[in-house]
Amino acid sequence: MQRGDTLYSIALAFGQDHRDLARWNGIEDPSRLAVGQLLRVEPPAAAAAVVPVAPVAAAQPTPLPPATAGAAAGASGAAAAPSVQAPAGTPTAPGSATLPAATPPLPAAAAGGATSVAPAAAASAPSAATANGAAQLGPWLWPAEGKLIEGFHETRNKGIDIAGKEGDPVVAAADGQVVYSGSGLRGYGNLVILKHGEDFISAYAHNRSILVKQGQSVRRGQRIAELGRTDADVPKLHFEIRQQGKPIDPLGLLPKR
């Protein structure tokens, strides 16, 4: 890891639950990580992949290189752009997956085209347990006011895309804490990740500017960013919700429009 990485951003990028990463790497306090160390991002029983420390160049919506095999330990966090490498074979191209799924990392939803696309039939609706867990956080809000232009799909898009104009407000969908704020995850541009309780995180990508800082508590409806087109062909917000590291369809939790 390098400065700016957090356990949550690494878990998000590799489609894992942050609690699993902590367990696999013997991390008791996720807030105390060490710059220059490596993280195991696959179960010890698997051919272990690690996250090497490598400076990130200007964020480009291109696939991340495969990580070297081996074991690892610890990591670090403070302001700077994280650069992590995906396990071999993990799809990361912006058009192939969004926020890391339980398998693919979280590249931005397919860039370009503002044509309206209805949520795919293959998209999985949140389970009753998911809905009940999310309900404990209170009503969820749409993070932006624009038109839905890309729906959730289990393999093609791990979230939804919402059209808008540059500078439009992006708000927190639920009460939470900022666990990542930066531009170090390739394909997402300026990205904010919020933690909601122990089980949920939400991610807000392609922002023009970010208005919150890591560690900050935010309230539902609070403005956290300005919509933009960083690492995207058109202005839009890419929005994802994950439960215990697994992407779920945000439309199952957001109010009907």
Q: What is the pLDDT of residue 238?
A: 98
Mean pLDDT of 142-164: 96
- Identify the three-state secondary structure at position 148: strand
- CA 257/CA 255 separation, integer angstroms: 6
Helix, strand, coil tally for the chain in percent (to 5): 10, 25, 65
131: nearest Cα among 22, 254, 6, 3 = 254
Compare 2 and 75 and report the one with higher pLDDT.
2
Rounded CA-CA distance 16/100 in Å is 8
In sequence order, what DSSP letters do the residues of 65-108 get, joined into one string?
Answer: PBPPBS--B----SSS-----BPTT----TTT--S--SSS--PP
pLDDT at 95: 39
At 128 the three-state DSSP class reads helix
What average pLDDT does the segment 137-158 reach?
A: 94
| pTM over 0.75, yes/no | no
